[in-house]
């Protein structure tokens, strides 16, 4: 479907489908809408045993109500390292 002419493919609100597409390497861009609320439970967006992915922030904005819209590009396998508080490069 991605190779056919037309508009982009999008999914909305389906954590399971999103995780499956991410694991299969079929996601080019990830758009997250984050509300300033902590509910303490529910289905995870990124499952514990999910596929790791490196992300690069393309753009972000915040609505007057405090919702942040973040757009990420997938960059391949994530880079890993360590962090030390107060360390300087």
Strands (E), 1-89: 29-34, 54-62, 68-76
Q: How far is CA 66 from CA 63, 88, 89, in A?
A: 5, 32, 33
pLDDT at 67 over 90: yes
**pTM of the entire predicted model:** 0.72
- The pLDDT tens digits for 71-81 are 999 988 887 77
Q: What is the pLDDT of residue 68?
A: 96
Smallest CA-to-CA distance from 12 within 24, 26, 28, 30 is with: 30
């Amino acid at each position: 479907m991605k190779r056919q002419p037309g508009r982009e493919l999008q999914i909305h609100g389906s954590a399971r489908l999103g995780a499956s597409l991410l694991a299969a390497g079929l996601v080019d861009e990830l758009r997250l809408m984050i509300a300033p609320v902590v509910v303490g439970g529910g289905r995870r967006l990124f499952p514990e045993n999910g596929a790791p992915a490196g992300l690069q922030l393309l753009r972000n904005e915040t609505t007057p109500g405090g919702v942040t819209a973040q757009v990420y590009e997938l960059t391949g396998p994530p880079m890993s390292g360590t962090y030390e508080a107060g360390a300087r490069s």
